C-alpha cells in the first residue's frame, strides 16, 4: 500500500508513520500560489518588517548554492519567510536584510518553523550574527510522535496529502537573478513548513509551550 503504521504509546493514533516513494509520487503536486515578495528595495523591506514582526508563526528556510566538488562550499544565498499573508524572499547579498532577519530570529514571541534548521542557522551565522529564540523543528516533533520519516516532503505527503516538488533544489541560488522556478520552490518550502505547523497544532502534536530549541 505504500504506507506503514507504528503505534506510539505516548501519542496513540492510527495515522501512517511513513510513506513509500511510489505512494508519495502518486500524490497531487502542490506549490505555493499566494503572494511572493522578493525583498530588494527599501519599500519591500519595510513592508516585510511590518508583516513578519506581527506574526506568531513563520515558515523559515534558506537556500544555498550546491557544491559538487570535494572541499567546495558556499554560504546561504537567500532566506525565505512565510507569513499568513505571503512569502518574503531575502537575497542575503543585500546586507540591509540582515537586521530584520536577525530581529525576527531573536523574537521570543514568534515561532520560526522549519525542518532540520540547525544547519541553516549555523551557516547563516557566518553571514551575519544573531541569537536565535523560539526555533521549532518539525522533524524533531514528528520523530517524538513516532514518525519514521521526518523530512518536509514526506511529512507533507503524510499529513497534508500532497507532494511538494523539489526540482529546483540543486540550482545556483547565488545567481544574480533567480528564475521563476527557483522563486516558486523557495516560497513553497517556507509556506509548507508553516502549513505543517498549523496541522501539528490542530492534530494535537503541538500543545502548550512550543517545542523548540532556543
User: Quick one: CA dihedral 146, 152, 156, 157, positive or negative?
Assistant: negative
Cα–Cα dist 152/140, whole Å: 11
CB atoms within 10 A of CB 107: 17
Percent of the chain with pLDDT over 70: 88
pTM of the complete model:
0.86
Q: What is the pLDDT, as a whole number, of residue 118?
A: 93
Q: What is the pLDDT, as a whole number, of residue 175?
A: 87
Closest to 169 measured CA to CA, from 66, 48, 58, 17: 66
Q: What is the pLDDT, as a whole number, of residue 14?
A: 61
* Domain ranges within the chain, ordered by starting residue: 32-145+172-202
Displacement of CA 146 from its chain's centroid (Å) = 21
At 39-68, the pLDDT tens digits run 999 999 999 999 999 999 999 999 998 877
Unique residue bearing C-alpha cell 509548507 = 192
Q: What is the pLDDT, as a whole number, of residue 69?
A: 75
Choice between 204 and 214, residue whose per-residue pLDDT is larger:
204
At 91-114, the pLDDT tens digits run 999 999 999 999 999 999 999 999
In CATH, the number for domain 32-145+172-202 is 3.30.420.10
At 119-134, the pLDDT tens digits run 999 999 999 999 999 9
Band of pLDDT at residue 7, cut at 50, 70 and 90:
very low
Q: What is the pLDDT, as a whole number, of residue 13?
A: 52
Amino acid at each position: 500500500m505504500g504506507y506503514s503504521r507504528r503505534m506510539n504509546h505516548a501519542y496513540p493514533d492510527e495515522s501512517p508513520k511513513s510513506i513509500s516513494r511510489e505512494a508519495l509520487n502518486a500524490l497531487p503536486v502542490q506549490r505555493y500560489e499566494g503572494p511572493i515578495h522578493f525583498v530588494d528595495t527599501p519599500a519591500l523591506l519595510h513592508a516585510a518588517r511590518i508583516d513578519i514582526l506581527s506574526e506568531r508563526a513563520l515558515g523559515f528556510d534558506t537556500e544555498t548554492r550546491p557544491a559538487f566538488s570535494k572541499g567546495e562550499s558556499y554560504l546561504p544565498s537567500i532566506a525565505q519567510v512565510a507569513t499568513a499573508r505571503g512569502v518574503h524572499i531575502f537575497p542575503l547579498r543585500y546586507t540591509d536584510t540582515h537586521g530584520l532577519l536577525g530581529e525576527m530570529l531573536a523574537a521570543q514571541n514568534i515561532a520560526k518553523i522549519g525542518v532540520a534548521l540547525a544547519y541553516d542557522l549555523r551557516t547563516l551565522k557566518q553571514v551575519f550574527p544573531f541569537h536565535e529564540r523560539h526555533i521549532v523543528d518539525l522533524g524533531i516533533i514528528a520523530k517524538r510522535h513516532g514518525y519514521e520519516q521526518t523530512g518536509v516532503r514526506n511529512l507533507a505527503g503524510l499529513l497534508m496529502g500532497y507532494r511538494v516538488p523539489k526540482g529546483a533544489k540543486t540550482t545556483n541560488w547565488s545567481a544574480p537573478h533567480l528564475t521563476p522556478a527557483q522563486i516558486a520552490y523557495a516560497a513553497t518550502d517556507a509556506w509548507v513548513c508553516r502549513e505543517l505547523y498549523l496541522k501539528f497544532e490542530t492534530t494535537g502534536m503541538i500543545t502548550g509551550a512550543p517545542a523548540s530549541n532556543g
